[in-house]
Amino acid sequence: MQTLEVQLGERSYPIFIGESLLAQPDCLLPWIRGRQVLLVSNATVAPLYAAQILKILRDAGLAVADVTLPDGEQFKDWQHLNLIFDALLAARFSRKVTLIALGGGVVGDMTGFAAACYQRGVDFIQIPTTLLSQVDSSVGGKTGINHPLGKNMIGAFQQPRAVLADTSVLRSLPERELSAGLAEVIKYGLIRDLPFLAWLEEHMEGLMARDPALLAEAIRRSCQNKAEVVAADELEQNDVRALLNLGHTFGHAIETGMGYGSWLHGEAVGTGMLMAADLSWREGWLSAADVARVRALLVRAGLPVLPPAGLSADEFLRHMAVDKKNVDGRLRLVLLRSLGDAWVTDTASPQHLRATLEAGAALGMMA
């Protein structure tokens, strides 16, 4: 088992990474401060892993309740968040309760937001069960739900007491979701850790084969990178944390344009990172070989490298205009000054941007 500490002053917390953590009471129980626990999961994950966790909690003599949400981004709304509050209040749980999020990013975001709001704030623990949530959403404290007029528009910053990233659960992960998680892993290499990018190039086949030691190392280095970024900018008050959005402005346009659920978030981010690399090449910052290198790694990770054919440049631009990073109507993008060095800028030329959006199938193969 590897341990990583996210340094946030009095809100610091550990991330445990390793095999079969869910079977070990000592990984979970020390992080529960009161006598009451609500386990939140979804209909896909609960049948696989909820029973063993509930047994650990009950054997420890805790008062335990659980709630199972439907699985999917389309249920990340107030109505389903309220199922968590209903369960807490039906059990008459006090502000000493601990919530445990067992599932992917949606379960983590909703459980964390419920923990932020229940009686104005209670403890929660993250047990992320997808690679994406292990390397991304379980670090940093962003929680929330969607509003019909915007994704993640309602939420809070709420740090967990601890995160348990169990690599064993990744064996049951569908192939597409493994690739989607790897997109965010590759992102850390691209934005700030060139040695990690090289390590990923060396071990991508092993990661795709779900080698536990390699997965644990990829998770650790991803979480380490994210933890450093978050420690420098916990509440997203400067542009440091925005670097984590490499590929996301393009990616959100793909997700919104195609309708949520058609592309996985990580898939859209993967293609979005290639578009960001392509634009960075047009701006003269990356070489054609750099862009080809990004493309090749994404392909090996099983990720799409073609934006959806049906999405025109104008539609891209329209969806990109509502990004939270934009200031006073000016589009701001995370781009690459070199591989391993991202920055936020509004200086990219509109002509270059349009060329990237129209490049389609030729992305990363132009030069």
Q: Does 157 bind a copy of itself (CB under 8 A)?
A: yes
Among 317, 322, 344, 355, binds a copy of itself (CB under 8 A): 322
User: Which are the contacts of 228, defined by CB distance < 8 A and separation ≥ 6?
Assistant: none
- Please count the CA atoms within 13 angstroms of the CA of 13 that sit on its side-chain side: 22
d(CA 331, CA 217): 36
Q: Does 330 bind a copy of itself (CB under 8 A)?
A: no
Catalytic (active site) residue 245: yes
**Which ranges of 265-366 does DSSP label H, i.e. alpha helix?**
265-282, 288-300, 313-320, 350-359
> Is 236 noted as a catalytic residue in this protein?
yes
Whether 142 is catalytic is yes
Does residue number 233 form part of the binding site for a copy of itself (CB under 8 A)?
no
Give me the least distance between CB of 45 and a copy of itself, in Å please: 25
Told to check if 235 binds a copy of itself by CB under 8 A, we report yes
CB neighbour burial string for 47-82, b if at least 16 within 10 angstroms, e if fewer: eebbeebbebbeeeebebbbbbbebebebbeeebbe
What residues contact residue 349 under an 8 Å CB cut-off, 6+ apart?
282, 283
How many chain residues are in contact with a copy of itself, going by CB under 8 A? 31
Q: Which of 236, 239, 315, 341 binds a copy of itself (CB under 8 A)?
A: 236
- 8, 60, 156, 231: which one binds a copy of itself (CB under 8 A): 156
The yes or no reply on residue 195 touching a copy of itself (CB under 8 A) is: no
* Known catalytic membership, residue 175: no
- Contact residues for 154 (Cβ-Cβ < 8 A; gap 6+): 78, 113, 144, 145, 146, 147
Tell me: does residue 124 bind a copy of itself (CB under 8 A).
Answer: no
Six token digits for residue 108: 């983590």
CB–CB of 341/197 below 8 Å?
no
149 near a copy of itself, rule: CB under 8 A: yes
* Binding of residue 8 to a copy of itself (CB under 8 A): no
Nearer to a copy of itself by Cβ, of 226 and 282: the residue is 226
DSSP SS3 for 15? strand
Query: Which two tokens mark 126?
Result: 């993250």
238 belongs to the binding site for a copy of itself (CB under 8 A): no
Binding of residue 239 to a copy of itself (CB under 8 A)? no
Q: Does residue number 82 form part of the binding site for a copy of itself (CB under 8 A)?
A: yes
Q: For binding to a copy of itself (CB under 8 A), which residues are involved?
A: 78, 82, 85-86, 89-90, 92, 94-95, 116-121, 142, 144, 147, 149-150, 153-157, 235-236, 322, 324, 326-327
Residues tagged active-site: 120, 142, 184, 226, 236, 241, 245, 248, 252, 265
